[in-house]
Amino acid sequence: MKRELNFDHKHPILYLIATPIGNMKELSPRAIEIIKAMDYIVAEDTRVSGKLLAHHQIKKPFISCHEHNETVAAKEVVRLLKDGKQVAYMSDAGMPCISDPGYILVKECILNDINISPVSGPNAALDALIASGLDTAHFYFHGFLSAKTSVRKEELRHLYLKSETLIFYEAPHRILKTLKDMLEILGKRKAVIAREVTKLHEEFIRGNLEELVKLEQATLKGEMVIIVEGHNNEQEKFMEPKDIISLVQNLENMGMSTKDAIKKASDLLNLPKRDVYNLYHRAN
Ligand code: SAM
């Protein structure tokens, strides 16, 4: 697990600047301030971003990073950031990484111990998602889970098979309980807590649910978004017997008959139906 306080000046930061989807006046004052402080602006289309910067009377050296050169450009951006240069990325319009380039760049930065800081403002879910390093191509926003444990678990069971990246809001006094329920029902998936986004103590905590449940409550203050990897078949490969039983129960809770749940589980696990059947019926 990695905890990254973005503004403690210990690691370089790649800023992800959300730009107006239409009206150029909607670039935020903070975005303008950050752009002015940068050594380089990495842009999907340097002509489009050049116009936006010109509108705000800013001139900066550009690096081009679009869908056809993102892997190579990402390496150059990492080199510049490691060299102590200040760098921000913007796509043509709107949020980077949302049906726009940026995801490969973000992943390469995270791999190289470079922090990611979203600069957007109005929406915590998207800010958290684009800086999470988890898949941004398809996602599902759930918002707050129920405060009632039984209902919360039921909601999570319904989400078990969703392949989209899952986005949740949570209050600090409930975060550990929720993470524990997520571990129990969703399994040991990759997950990221985005805390106090755009504020002084902005932090991204990256790991998997088994690691995140071990966090100290006292260190989880403020506002938080939880981003969890969607379902994929890899997740079932290393399941223990108790997790296999819980998988069948999850599927039953999604409305399947026991017979169908055992068949679906055996398909997901690539295990003979008989083995799943025996495990399940021994436990029930
Ligand atoms: N309308 C807001 C939006 O678009 O993101 C959400 C409002 S909701 C009542 C408040 C929840 O959003 C918080 O409990 C937290 O989960 C999330 N949130 C709001 N600001 C946040 C921030 N700066 N960092 C992390 N999460 C935040």
Convert the pLDDT of each residue in 21-76 to its tens digit: 999 999 999 999 999 999 999 999 999 999 999 999 999 999 999 999 999 999 99
- Which mutation among 173, 178, 204, 225 tests ligand 1's pocket best, with the greatest number of atoms within 8 A of CB? 225
* Calpha distance 107→116 (Å, rounded): 10
The finding on whether 141 has its CB within 6 A of some atom of ligand 1 is: no
Give the per-residue pLDDT at 282. 84
pTM of the model: 0.91
Averaged pLDDT of the chain:
95
Residue 198 alpha carbon, nearest atom of ligand 1: 23
- Which mutation among 123, 198, 223, 228 tests ligand 1's pocket best, with the greatest number of atoms within 8 A of CB? 223
Cβ contacts of 275 within 8 Å, gap of 6 or more = 266
225 alpha carbon to ligand 1 midpoint, in Å? 7
CB of 65 closer than 8 Å to CB of 42: yes
142 alpha carbon to ligand 1 midpoint, in Å? 13
Q: Which amino acid is at 11?
A: H
144-154 per-position pLDDT tens digit: 999 999 999 99
CB of 177 closer than 8 Å to CB of 213: no
Give the per-residue pLDDT at 278. 87
Give the per-residue pLDDT at 279. 86
95-143 per-position pLDDT tens digit: 999 999 999 999 999 999 999 999 998 999 999 999 999 999 999 999 9
233-269 per-position pLDDT tens digit: 787 777 788 888 988 988 988 889 999 999 999 988 8
Mean pLDDT over 205-221 rounds to 97
Residue 13 has pLDDT above 90, yes or no: yes
CB of 86 closer than 8 Å to CB of 119: no
162-171 per-position pLDDT tens digit: 999 999 999 9
The finding on whether 41 has its CB within 6 A of some atom of ligand 1 is: no
143 alpha carbon to ligand 1 midpoint, in Å? 9
Phi, psi of 273 (to 5 degrees): -55, -35
- Residue closest by Cα to atom 16 of ligand 1: 169
Give the residue carrying structure tokens 């589980």: 265
Cβ contacts of 134 within 8 Å, gap of 6 or more = 165, 190, 192, 227, 228, 229
Give the per-residue pLDDT at 7. 94
Residue 144 alpha carbon, nearest atom of ligand 1: 16
Query: Quick one: pLDDT band at residue 271, thresholds 50, 70, 90?
Result: confident
Give the per-residue pLDDT at 188. 92
- Which mutation among 224, 226, 227 tests ligand 1's pocket best, with the greatest number of atoms within 8 A of CB? 224
* Calpha distance 242→252 (Å, rounded): 15
CB of 114 closer than 8 Å to CB of 74: no
